[in-house]
Structure 1
Amino acid sequence: MIKFEPISNGKFWSGTDWSITDEDELARLIARVAIGQYRHVLKVLNETDCIAYAPTRNALEGAIRALTAENVEQPWHRDGWLFQVISWIAANIQNPESLKSPPHMIHANKGFDGLHICLDETDENVVSVVICEEKATDGPRGKITSQVWPEFKSLEAGSRDNELVSETTTLLAQNDHLDPDKAVHEILWKRARAYRVSITIGDKERSQDGRKALFKGYKKITPGDVVGKRRAETFHQSNLRDWMSRMANKALDAAKEMEAENV
């Protein structure tokens, strides 16, 4: 469904480049998220037994809103939400063991795009808290320098630590952590804080040199050991908006089929 190729730039950053191998299956998973069944998607990805529940009429209407651009000439919010869902799916395939915040259910959510928590082998202590920025854009370098780097710099300075502590505690509690308050209190935040930027790229950024230029400044903004500290994920599409529109329509069709199968 999604194929991953390693990419890196020495001590500066490391990650993967994504390519879609099965658009129809991806669309079905996106549809499940859109109707509010993200837990079903997790079970599918983990290959555990799960019952495919049909969406209610209201859930289907909500999915239609999520997958539809209010202005077809300016589909930025719809495409941004869609890419966040794809990034969440990709992260669960790449690292199923880490805890992850559920996908947002509204366009242009003001919180963190995503939050991942990696625990040690005892599942009691937090090793890292990964803050995600996920951008679907036709101008990736400009988006990184104008939005992603300033946000990461602010987070490194601790300006949103209250939000980070709150969301980390909530995510641990939702996953039945023994003592989420104690775990959060004992986190060495400077050492544990890590970053993951997922971004769409065009032909210009597809080469090694193109990616080096794209993520220039990452280490300066978020200094420290590269191991797990600075993740860089790229997804190439020459005609991004056309592809996003096609995937949204496929997911819409899949959601409607789920309802029709159970009428």
Structure 2
Amino acid sequence: MTLTLVPIDHGELCYGWAWTIEDEEVLAERVARIVLGQYRHVTKILSGAGVPGPVANAEQANAAVKQLTLAEGVDPWHRDGWLFQAISWIAAHQQPSASLTRMPHIRKADKGFDGMQLELNEAGTAITAVVVFEDKATDNARDTIRDDVWPGIIALEKGERLNELSQEVSGMLDARAAADPEFDLDSAIANTLWHDARRYRVSITIGDTHNDASARAKLFKGFDESAPGAVARRRADTIHLPALRDWMADFSARVISKIKVIAHV
């Protein structure tokens, strides 16, 4: 696998995985295909299929390279955030918590949800879990969680953005309905108990400060208050990248190299 995911249990606070990158070259190739719009191929590879990758043309490659290239004087936050979302999407497929996963964002600084997975009941007639992703590439993990992530989750718990959530879920189920003529999309939406179904997957970059079990638990302090209820509602994933911005700059260059190889440019 591209990433190794080690399970971590913080009792009633939260559960989740610590990610470790096993092969940066392979990871860069998969992220390159995502930015080229070839996420379906990556999905097949992650599911174990040994299929050759599609080619890309020069125009696709140029657009992808442009997305990852910083203009002079521009901060890297949006680029790094998108790269981390792509890595998070790959991790979600390696340790899935749901039966349907939304396609990854292709644009930097997209204002929608960072990612989403759905779990259906055995009959496929209702949604049992809507897993909302919060993906954060940051040098200040605890501040970001406390000041950004928790308020966002609390707002969702209050029912804010439910219209956006419903639309995202409907779009994800459209593909299921197209593949299964007997699947009743409208009933599945109508039967969803939205408050009970909402779950959260917080994925964040960490440095040395939070790179042990005790410090990691302190990092996610307040998760049980922001999203109360069963611990299954609270997934917390981390990846240790102590020199985050330098690593992202190097990784972006690797991805660009892979894009050029795929497109033969």
**TM-score range for the pair, normalised by the shorter chain length:** over 0.9
Residues 195/71 of structure 1: CA separation in 2 closer, same or farther (3 Å cut): farther
Cα distance change, pair 67–175 in 1 and its aligned pair in 2 (3 A):
farther
1:120 deviates by 2.6
Could you say which residue in structure 1 is the equivalent of 2:117?
A: 116
- 2:255 alignment partner in structure 1: 251
Specify the alignment match of 1:235 in structure 2: 239
Q: 1:46 touches 1:96 (CA, 8 Å); kept in 2? A: no
Deviation at 1:26, TM superposition (A): 0.5
Query: Distance in 1 between the 2:223 and 2:209 partners?
Result: 19
- Percent of pairs identical after alignment? 42
- Alignment partner of 1:201 is 2:202: no
Structure 1 residues 14 and 71: CA distance shift in structure 2, 3 A? farther
Give the 5 Å matches for 1:55-94: 55-71=56-72, 74-94=75-95
3-state DSSP of counterpart to 1:175: helix
Answer with 1-10 or 42-51: which moved more.
42-51
- The CA RMSD measured in Å over matched residues stands at 1.5
- 2:31, 2:86 within 8 Å by CA — same for their partners in 1? yes
Structure 1 residue matching 2:130: 3-state secondary structure: strand
Could you say which residue in structure 1 is the equivalent of 2:8?
Answer: 7
CA contact under 8 A between 2:126 and 2:187: conserved in structure 1?
Answer: no
Q: 1:211 to 1:72 in 2, by over 3 A?
A: farther
Task: State the secondary structure of the residue aligned to 1:5.
Answer: strand
Preserved CA contact (<8 Å) 2:208 2:240: yes
Aligned equivalent of 1:184: 189
**Is the 2:131–2:200 Cα contact (8 Å) retained in structure 1?**
yes
Q: Which runs of 4+ in 1 moved over 4 A?
A: none
Deviations 1:132-164 (A, max 9, x none): 100000001111111110100000000110000
Equivalences for residues 143-222 of structure 1 within 5 A: 143-176=144-177, 178-222=183-227
Question: TM-score, normalised to structure 2's length?
Answer: 0.94
Give the Cα–Cα distance (whole angstroms) in 1 for the partners of residues 71 and 154 of structure 2: 32
Query: How has the CA–CA distance of structure 1 residues 246 and 54 changed in structure 2, closer, same or farther, with 3 Å as cutoff?
Result: same
Q: How many residues align?
A: 260
Contact persistence 1:66–1:105 (CA under 8 A) = no
| 205-214 vs 92-101, greater mean Cα deviation | 92-101
Gaps of 5+ in 1: none
**TM-score (structure 1 length as normaliser):** 0.94
Deviation at 1:49, TM superposition (A): 5.0
Task: Give the Å deviation of 1:121.
Answer: 2.9
Give 1:62's aligned amino acid: A
SS, match of residue 88 in structure 2: helix
Cα 1:70–1:133 shift into 2, 3 Å: farther
